[in-house]
Structure 1
C-alpha cells in the first residue's frame, strides 16, 4: 500500500457536502451511453491488473469526492471491459426469447439501444468509447464477427447492428441529460450512481493507490454501515490528475467474485478524430425511425400490464439507506404460479423462486447476488439490494 494512504471516513457532518459534490459531479459527466439504454446492472470482470501502487500526495475522502465533482473531462477515447456475475440461473436459451420480446416492445429494430444494450446485463463484453463534448459521443459493443454502435452527433442518435444490418435513428434529449431508462456504461456512470447512496448509513474512505490503464489513481471505498444489505463494498479508482473514475468494483456482502467491476483497459484524453462520430446508414440496411411520444407494447400483451403501470405510479420506498426497499402493487392477484405449471414460462419462474410466508401472507422471492425481489400472492412487489430476510421484514412492516 502506498505511504500516503488515508482511512479518513466521512462523518454525518460531511453528508451535505457530499450531496453538494454529487450535484456538481452530475454536471460534468461525459455521457458516453447516449440514448434509450434499458435499465440493467452491468459490470466488468477483474481484467485490469494493477501495476504497482504509485506514491501520490495524501488526500481525504472528502477531498477525493470533491475531485470527482470538479472533473471536467470533455474529450476521451478508450476501451472498457464489461461483465456481470449476478448469479442468475441458466434459462436454457430463454434469454433470447425475452430479448426478442423486448425488441418488439420498443421500435421493432434489433438496433434499438433499448433492447440491444440489455445484453450487457450478463457475460463478458468489450466496449470502445469516445467523446468530444456534450454533443458527440460513440459507444461500440464489440461482438464475435460483429459490432453494435450508438453514435450521438448533434441532435441525431444512431444505433447500428452490423450482424442484422439494421439501423435505428432517434434524436437526443434536448436538455443533454440521460434518459431515465438509460443504464450506466462507464466507471463514471457507476460512480455517480453509487455516490447518490452516500448518507449517514455509509462509510467512505480512501484506501491507497493503484494504476489503471496506465494512469495513477486513488482508491475510494464506499461501505454500508447497515446489516441486511447485499452490498459488501464499492471501490472506485479515481484518476489522480483529472478526477475521472477509471474503475468501479462492487463486491457482494456474501463474498466471492465482484458482482460489478467496470474499468478502462486503455484511455486517452486527446480529442478523437471528427470522423469518429460520422455515420451514414450502409447500403441495403433497414432503417427504423424512433416513434416519438409512443412506445408500442409487445404483441399479445396481457391486460394486466395496465394494472402494473398503475401500480408503478404508486411506487413507495420503505426503510432507509442501503436497506431501502421499493414496493408497488401490480393489481394482479395470484402471485407467481408454482412449478406445477411446468412446460411454460410461468412454471419455470415459479420453480426458480423460494416460497416464503409472513404477516403479509404468502409469496415468492427471486434472488440474485445483488438484487432480490418478493412477489406476494396478493400482487404486491418488494425489491431491493437486501437479503431475503430483509425483504420479508419490509413486507411485514408494509402491511
Structure 2
C-alpha cells in the first residue's frame, strides 16, 4: 500500500520509512479517468446516507481502514443500487435526434445490447440498478428503465447482454485470467481500489467519522489531493464496518458543487444469490449478436510490451487498444500529472469547419480554442477530465485545468 498522510499519530520516521518502501510513480490522470470509465461502462452504486444518525463505532486509523478494504473478501452479494453522474457535459439538443439516438436504438451493425454501448447511459443523470455476485465468475447487473430493462450477465465463460426494449442479445466469451473480465460489471470496491492507487505523498488520507449506508454501519474514508492544479477536490468512501467492503463512493470536484460521481448501495445482502440468477437463454425471436473474444495481442503495443493496466476508457466504454495509445507518456506525477500521446492525425475542426448545424454547434459547445508555443488546438472540458487536442493531432489529457494543459503542450514543443 502506498504511503499517505492522515490525522493518525504516526512518527515522521515511520512515515518516511513507509514512503521509501512503497513510493511508486503515480499517473494521477488515470484514477479519475478510470472512475469515469467505470461509471460509463460498468456498475455505479449510490444512496444518500440514512437518517438514523451516525453509528458509534470503535476508533480506527486511516491505515487500518485501508488495510480493511484491501483484505475484504466479499464473494456473494445482491442488492439495489443507484448512480448519479454529473460530468457537466453539454446538452446534445437537436443533435441526439439528428443522429437517431434513443432508447433501444443501435447504429450501424452494432447491437443495442452491447454493454460498451448500452451502459454509457450511466455517464449522466441518475439511474437505478439491481446487482448480484457469486464469486469471480458470476455477476449480474440490470439497468432499470421506465418501460424496459437492460441486463448484463457473466456466468463462467459466457457474457450476455440483453435489451428487452429492442429484444436484442449480445454474447461473447472470456477466459479466466485473460483480463477480459474488465468489461464485466464492477463493485464499489473497484472504485475505491482505483482511488487508493492515487495515495502517496501528494495525498492526504483521513477517517472522517461514521455513517449508515443501506442500513449498514460504515466508516468514512476521505482522500484529498494536495496538488493545486488538479480538478479533483476530494473522494469519500463509506466502508462497511464489518466486511470492509466499500458501500458508497463520492468524487467531488475542486470547483465545488454536486459530486461528479456519487455511487453506492441503497439495499444490500451478503447471502448467496440463487444459481438461477445468472442463467440466461436468448428469448424467442431475439436478435443475437456474437462477438469474438479479443486476442491477448490486442492488449500489447507494437513492440510487444504490455499496455498500462488502467488505461482510461475510450468513448463507448472499451479500454484503449494499442493503436489508440501509441507512444503514451505521462508528464509529471501526482494528481496533476498529464497523459500525452500522438494520434498521428489532425485536430478537431470548429463547428463552422464541420458544416455548422446541430453537429457544428455541438462541437463548438464542447471545447475552447487555445493557442501557445505549441500552435493551436481545442480544449475539451468536463467537471473532472480536461483534454487538449492540438491541430497537429497531439493529445494532452488529465484531471487538471485548461492552463495546465496548455503549459504542458508548450513544454513539449
TM-score between both structures, scaled by the size of structure 1? 0.83
Residues 258-267 or 357-366, more deviating: 357-366
Return the offset for 1:43: 5.5
Q: Distance in 2 between matches of 1:159 and 1:293?
A: 17
Residues 126-135 or 241-250, more deviating: 126-135
Q: Residue by residue, what CA displacement relative to the aligned partner does 1:18-50 show, whole Å, maximum 9, x if unpaired?
A: 789xxxxxxxxxxxxxxx989659856754445
Return the offset for 1:7: 2.9
Return the offset for 1:79: 1.1
Compared CA separation, residues 73 and 280, structure 1 to 2 (3 A): same
Figure out how many residues of one structure are paired with residues of the other and give that number: 364
Residues 36-45 or 350-359, more deviating: 36-45
Q: Residue by residue, what CA displacement relative to the aligned partner does 1:112-165 show, whole Å, maximum 9, x if unpaired?
A: 111111111111111110011112111111111111001111111111100000
Q: Distance in 1 between matches of 2:157 and 2:23?
A: 31
Compared CA separation, residues 195 and 17, structure 1 to 2 (3 A): farther
Return the offset for 1:365: 0.8
Is the CA contact 2:137–2:155 (under 8 Å) kept in the aligned structure 1? Answer: yes
Give 3-state SS (helix, strand or coil) of 2:362's partner.
Answer: helix
- Structure 2 unmatched ranges of 5 or more: 1-5, 25-36, 299-320
Instruction: Give 2:364's aligned residue.
Output: 350
Q: Distance in 2 between matches of 1:72 and 1:54?
A: 23
Q: 2:377 aligns with which of 346, 356, 363?
A: 363
Compared CA separation, residues 236 and 43, structure 1 to 2 (3 A): same
Instruction: Give 1:92's aligned residue.
Output: 93
Q: Distance in 1 between matches of 2:20 and 2:181?
A: 26
Is the CA contact 2:62–2:221 (under 8 Å) kept in the aligned structure 1? Answer: yes
Q: 2:394 aligns with which of 380, 385, 388?
A: 380
Instruction: Give 1:79's aligned residue.
Output: 80
Instruction: Give 1:225's aligned residue.
Output: 226
Instruction: Give 1:234's aligned residue.
Output: 235
Instruction: Give 1:326's aligned residue.
Output: 339
Return the offset for 1:178: 5.2
Q: Distance in 2 between matches of 1:39 and 1:16?
A: 36
1:208 aligns with 2:209: yes
Q: Distance in 2 between matches of 1:265 and 1:15?
A: 37
Instruction: Give 2:169's aligned residue.
Output: 167
Compared CA separation, residues 218 and 124, structure 1 to 2 (3 A): same
Q: Residue by residue, what CA displacement relative to the aligned partner does 1:283-326 show, whole Å, maximum 9, x if unpaired?
A: 1111111133489xxxxxxxxxxxx9746211111111111111
Q: Distance in 2 between matches of 1:81 and 1:334?
A: 37
Q: Distance in 2 between matches of 1:47 and 1:38?
A: 18
Return the offset for 1:361: 1.3
TM-score between both structures, scaled by the size of structure 2? 0.80
Residues 274-283 or 7-16, more deviating: 7-16
Return the offset for 1:272: 0.8
1:287 aligns with 2:288: yes
Is the CA contact 1:281–1:287 (under 8 Å) kept in the aligned structure 2? Answer: yes
1:267 aligns with 2:268: yes
Compared CA separation, residues 75 and 41, structure 1 to 2 (3 A): closer
Residues 240-249 or 113-122, more deviating: 113-122
Give the number of the structure with larger relative contact order, counting CA–CA contacts within 8 Å between residues 6 or more apart: 2
Compared CA separation, residues 374 and 351, structure 1 to 2 (3 A): same
1:315 aligns with 2:328: yes
| 1:1-399 matches, cutoff 5 A | 7-8=7-8, 11=15, 13-15=17-19, 47-95=48-96, 97=99, 104=107, 108-175=110-177, 177=179, 179=181, 182=183, 185-293=186-294, 310=323, 312-339=325-352, 341-343=355-357, 345-346=359-360, 348-399=362-413
Residues 358-367 or 231-240, more deviating: 358-367
Is the CA contact 2:347–2:389 (under 8 Å) kept in the aligned structure 1? Answer: no
Give 3-state SS (helix, strand or coil) of 1:356's partner.
Answer: strand
Is the CA contact 2:46–2:248 (under 8 Å) kept in the aligned structure 1? Answer: no
Give 3-state SS (helix, strand or coil) of 2:63's partner.
Answer: helix
CA RMSD of aligned residues (A): 3.0
Q: Distance in 2 between matches of 1:267 and 1:42?
A: 14
Instruction: Give 1:24's aligned residue.
Output: none
Return the offset for 1:381: 1.0
Return the offset for 1:208: 0.5
Give 3-state SS (helix, strand or coil) of 2:210's partner.
Answer: strand
Is the CA contact 2:42–2:186 (under 8 Å) kept in the aligned structure 1? Answer: no
Is the CA contact 1:9–1:203 (under 8 Å) kept in the aligned structure 2? Answer: no
Q: Distance in 2 between matches of 1:232 and 1:91?
A: 27
Return the offset for 1:54: 0.9
Is the CA contact 1:335–1:378 (under 8 Å) kept in the aligned structure 2? Answer: no
Give 3-state SS (helix, strand or coil) of 2:335's partner.
Answer: helix
